[in-house]
Structure 1
């Protein structure tokens, strides 16, 4: 028995050596050449039948991997034209965001999608994009800041009872912002999310746990914020009477933990689809029925819970400092994927900068550092995959905002609206965002407005150029 006999069967590369090694063992055991060749052909035709053990197990594993790679390459071909999808706020959305959504809707695993009125260009899926896939999860369809989310706490204090100076002092003492930043060890608080056994289930999660524990209860940079303001409740709701209330609103995510999870699993997905069209490389996916897909799903959901834990501690600190308990709280994630039944099929719905808006579900859609945000209740619009916008959405990129906006104009805008800003940069100026009132108006069939929040004292990370 030699390599030429095996090569004639169609074995390639490393499989030839493994087949020859197995054949030699069978010859040593007294098997004839024809019997061995028939056995090798049987392994080639059905490698999964030989994976459990025996002389052909290693060869079967190699053949199985080769077959899976072939299937992956074949399945990575994009559709020639994108599947149709609904758009809300067409007049507010730049063409390049449409281009990104079109690529996403050409993926072979895509089944449905929608574009929200705050949509703008992102990495892979546009911000404000909603994408439903079958048996596949796309790390960049969720985003780098996994679990990025909102939380509002209504406090039993009259809005005017908290002075600007006191609000500023509370935010300075009880919040932290910026890449790599955490509370000093003596001031760090515990949270039940840090005691989940999930952290021990993957080497990556075990590795990231110490940093996650250091940064618990803090916020990142960019558009993350914590702010005191006034909530105007239009009608009796949230178990409260109509009126004006002091409230805390925060926007934060999963910090460096989520970013490293996103990077790790995106690299795995891209390795799995090496021939994916260049335009779609940031949309490489992981099949849900693979070890990699299951591992990402577990890590993603942990990052989502961790992000909400950050909000929980932020609000807990501020309420404790004021010696009160919130009378109502609302929260939602807007960078996550969910299992959802759509037209009778279970799909994976990615919301990258989109708010879940199932019928009756409460959510939060903020404006900018100086413009109002809204508590909303979903209307369950199937065409939007039960989604709404996650905010106002950018109309100027960070570099464009820093280059084109004058500091005096931004300061004047804040002063007119009575906003006290701690930190913040020109790249996060209100003028860099679409008008939230226009964005809300374009989605009246997606959500109903429950209450309006007007910020008053805002804390953010320091930007590239301070305001």
Structure 2
């Protein structure tokens, strides 16, 4: 399905891959971003686009000589990791409950953290640069070390899935935890202060930005790259632990050789070349999908997920959606659905079925097939997965 150019009369056009018109607030948010003077060429909206803070979740914004910290958001480097294993579905028979309880014991979820940093974590090279980070986080090193290898809450998850050939896949979704959040907040508040001091007219205070080559820009860029690396490492550490549990139950503890590994961000900024120019690309709830890039597009905890390969679509800045996208807010989901709905919608999945995860019910998300149908020009599907086990934060 090709994109459409929205009729917004903004200085920069907005191209949308969504199959639905934007609501009033969403339209306003798209207009606000597209009216900023440093936005390059056009703004691209992915099929799962929905309300965010400052910028829409599911938007790709390329900028010349400026970055908007709130557009990247507070979960810097949030993304997905997946491993295709050599195991088959039949090997899981009768073992899912045990695997789930061991994973929950090994990987802290929600606000929990590891009791101490293990060797892999303390040996991470990123700690050598911690002193260079924003002074507002200097007392958080211990916490950051204990949280490396932890899931967090909200829509973060760990899953065991099966593809259409009954092959076992491991998949997880997480980001840069508290340290990424605190770094983002430090810089967002600096950007807002600067805008106030310089009387910069902004369509939304959350669109306060740093100008390239300024000391504030350099400080943010340095911290952003560090947090993105931390997020990737966080997923690697958790995946290694998840693999150990699965190897124990399916291979008698013998290490397995993954058939495919994918680890991709979907909340981040990077310097890239598009339309022959070097620009800063902010993907807020979007995955990079250059020619042959592997990506992961998860559905909700009761729906399908997809491993994809990018087609390198120039108009989308080589991007695709990062999931199904929320249909209703967390509060609305809690009011709208019951525990019985949750049990019914997660049938056949070994997972929590209590009020604490009601806001993550599949019905609160857009149908993933619909989202996929809107981006056939952005990605091709490599594997279709269905979860049989899900650990929520």
TM-score between both structures, scaled by the size of structure 1: 0.76
Q: Which residue of the partner structure matches residue 347 of structure 1?
A: 279
CA distance in 2, matches of 1:256, 1:194: 19
Q: Which residue of the partner structure matches residue 83 of structure 1?
A: 12
Q: Which residue of the partner structure matches residue 258 of structure 1?
A: 180
Sort the Cα spacing of 1:428 and 1:200 in 2 relative to 1 into closer, same or farther, 3 A. same
Q: Which residue of the partner structure matches residue 26 of structure 2?
A: 97
Sort the Cα spacing of 1:401 and 1:109 in 2 relative to 1 into closer, same or farther, 3 A. same
TM-superposed deviation, 1:245: 1.5
Sort the Cα spacing of 1:283 and 1:167 in 2 relative to 1 into closer, same or farther, 3 A. same
TM-superposed deviation, 1:434: 0.0
TM-superposed deviation, 1:118: 0.5
Q: Which residue of the partner structure matches residue 307 of structure 1?
A: 231
CA distance in 2, matches of 1:133, 1:184: 41
Q: Which residue of the partner structure matches residue 389 of structure 2?
A: 457
Q: Tell me if 1:406 matches 2:338.
A: yes
CA distance in 2, matches of 1:270, 1:259: 16
Q: Which residue of the partner structure matches residue 55 of structure 2?
A: 125
Sort the Cα spacing of 1:98 and 1:143 in 2 relative to 1 into closer, same or farther, 3 A. same
* 1:48-68 C-alpha deviation (Å, 9 max, x unpaired): xxxxxxxxxxxxxxxxxxxxx
TM-superposed deviation, 1:166: 2.6
Structure number with the higher helix fraction is 1
* Range 322-331 or range 381-390, more displaced: 322-331
Aligned structure 1 segments of 4 or more residues deviating by more than 6 angstroms: none
TM-superposed deviation, 1:194: 5.0
How many residues end up aligned between the 2 structures?
A: 370
Alignment of 1:183-202 (within 5 A): 183-185=114-116, 189-190=120-121, 192-193=123-124, 195-202=126-133
* Range 169-178 or range 282-291, more displaced: 169-178
Q: Which residue of the partner structure matches residue 33 of structure 1?
A: none
Please, which runs of 5 or more residues in structure 1 have no aligned partner? 1-78, 233-242, 462-467
TM-superposed deviation, 1:193: 3.3
Q: Which residue of the partner structure matches residue 310 of structure 2?
A: 378
CA distance in 1, matches of 2:157, 2:103: 10
Q: Which residue of the partner structure matches residue 3 of structure 2?
A: none
Do 1:191 and 1:309's aligned partners in 2 also have CA atoms closer than 8 Å?
A: no
Note the aligned Cα RMSD (angstroms). Answer: 1.9
1:281 to 191, 205, 216: 205
TM-superposed deviation, 1:170: 2.7
Q: Tell me if 1:142 matches 2:72.
A: yes
1:161 to 82, 91, 116: 91
Q: Tell me if 1:318 matches 2:242.
A: yes
**SS state of the match for residue 270, structure 1?**
helix
CA distance in 2, matches of 1:247, 1:172: 18
Structure number with the higher strand fraction is 2
Sort the Cα spacing of 1:401 and 1:279 in 2 relative to 1 into closer, same or farther, 3 A. farther
Determine which structure has greater relative contact order: mean sequence separation of CA pairs < 8 Å that are 6+ residues apart, divided by chain length.
2
Please, which runs of 5 or more residues in structure 2 have no aligned partner? 1-7, 248-252
Do 2:137 and 2:182's aligned partners in 1 also have CA atoms closer than 8 Å?
A: no
Q: Which residue of the partner structure matches residue 369 of structure 1?
A: 301
TM-score between both structures, scaled by the size of structure 2: 0.89
